[in-house]
């Protein structure tokens, strides 16, 4: 395989996309975990869990992603006020 083809397959997004990609990935994982726990607590782990959880996850993610987009800049400022930066 040519070097050019190998490079074109492993292209990454520019670093400016970090402000969207990081909350996107975090919201997918966190909303999935939290909705799974809440669903298990409320209806138990069984056949109904399999049918109810995807809807709960979707609803949770619709709230989680925009929330993270808004709150992460505030969290970063709080963390930088509390944590010493390396020298």
Are the C-beta atoms of residues 49 and 39 closer than 8 Å to each other? yes
Q: Is the predicted pLDDT of residue 32 greater than 80, yes or no? A: yes
Query: Does residue 87 belong to any structural domain of this protein?
Result: no
Domain assignment present for 2: no
| Domain enclosing residue 59, as ranges | 20-82
Structural domain contains residue 44: yes
The pLDDT score that the predictor gives to residue 80 is: 93
Q: Tell whether 24 is covered by a domain.
A: yes
Examine residue 7 and state whether it is found in any structural domain, yes or no: no
In a domain, 36, yes or no: yes
Kindly state the tokens that stand for 3: 């070097």
The yes-or-no verdict on residue 5 having pLDDT over 70 is no
Q: What local confidence, expressed as pLDDT, does residue 86 receive?
A: 85
67 part of a folded domain: yes
C-beta neighbour count of 68 within 10 angstroms: 19
Is 87 a residue whose pLDDT tops 90?
Answer: no
pLDDT tens digits for range 33-60: 999 999 999 999 999 999 999 999 999 9
Q: Which two tokens stand for residue 73?
A: 């800049």
pLDDT at 1 over 60: no
Structure tokens at 4: 């050019």
Query: Does residue 8 lie in a domain region?
Result: no
Given a cut of 90, whether residue 4 has pLDDT beyond it is: no
End-to-end CA separation in angstroms for the chain: 43
As for how many domains the chain has, the answer is 1
């Amino acid at each position: 395989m040519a070097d050019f083809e190998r490079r074109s397959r492993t292209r990454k997004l520019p670093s400016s996309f970090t402000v969207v990609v990081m909350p996107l990935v975090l919201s997918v994982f966190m909303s999935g975990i939290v909705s799974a726990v809440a669903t298990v607590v409320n209806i138990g782990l069984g056949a109904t869990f399999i049918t109810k959880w995807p809807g709960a996850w979707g609803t949770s993610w619709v709230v989680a992603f925009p929330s993270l987009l808004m709150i992460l800049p505030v969290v970063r400022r709080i963390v930088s006020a509390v944590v010493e930066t390396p020298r």
